[in-house]
Structure formats: C-alpha cells, structure tokens
C-alpha cells in the first residue's frame, strides 16, 4: 500500500460518524446494509451519510452494489487488511521483535 492510500484510508476512518458506519458494515458483513438502514441506526441525516459513504468509497474501504431500488454497501476487507499491514510493517527493522508473527486478518 502506498503512503497516500494509507492516509486516505485512515482519514476516512478518523471521523466518528464514518467509523460507526464502517464498524456497522463490518458487523453486518457479508450481507451489507442500505443507506436507509445506516441512516436510521446511526441517526445521521441522509445527505450527511451520503457524504461519508462517498469518503469511505473513495478510500476503497467499502463497496457498493445496487439491488433494485436498494443500494447495498459492504466493507472491503482486503483494503482493511492492507491498511493494518501497512501500519505494522517493518517493525524493529525486521529484527528481533517478531512483528506480524501472528497476523490480524479478517477473512470474510
């Protein structure tokens, strides 16, 4: 992962409403959630929610599928895993500390 990509992904998560949205999507994976459901459960106005979902999309952290009248957002687990790896890579210059010896990955 490039530095700029990581900054964009971290910025997307570094906001209360967006972090709630992302975690709600993680919890609802792999089914996903509609903006309407998210708006109701997180008490965010539709236009504000839409703004935040766009940020998460731009960061590659969520994906979107249309199902008839409904839109379904889901978390992009691989992007999340790439971000986690970026944050912990090269720990202790590779020597000694047994970084990433056990790795946190989400597989769904």
* Long-range contacts, 82-89 (Cβ 8 Å, 24+): 82/1, 83/1, 83/6, 83/9, 83/10, 85/1, 86/1, 86/6, 87/6
Smaller CB separation from a second copy, 69 or 95: 95
Smaller CB separation from DNA, 53 or 61: 53
Q: How far is it, in rounded angstroms, from Cα 37 to Cα 9?
A: 23
Give the one entry of a second copy, DNA, none that residue 74 binds, where binding means its C-beta sits below a cut-off of 5 to 8 angstroms depending on kind: none
Cβ at position 57, least distance to a second copy in Å: 17
Residues forming contacts to a second copy in the complex (CB under 8 A) are: 3-4, 6-7, 10-11, 13-16, 19-20, 22-23, 26-30, 77, 80, 84-85, 87-93, 96-108
Smaller CB separation from a second copy, 40 or 87: 87
Cβ–Cβ under 8 Å, residues 73 and 34: yes
């Amino acid at each position: 992962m490039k530095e700029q990509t990581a900054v964009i992904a971290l910025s997307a998560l570094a906001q209360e409403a967006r972090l709630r949205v992302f975690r709600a999507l993680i919890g609802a994976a792999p089914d996903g959630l509609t903006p309407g459901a998210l708006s109701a459960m997180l008490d965010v106005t539709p236009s504000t929610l839409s703004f935040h979902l766009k940020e998460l999309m731009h960061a590659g952290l969520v994906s979107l599928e249309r199902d008839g009248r409904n839109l379904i957002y889901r978390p992009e687990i691989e992007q999340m895993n790439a971000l986690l790896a970026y944050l912990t890579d090269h720990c202790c210059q590779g020597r000694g500390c047994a970084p990433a010896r056990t790795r946190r990955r989400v597989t769904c």
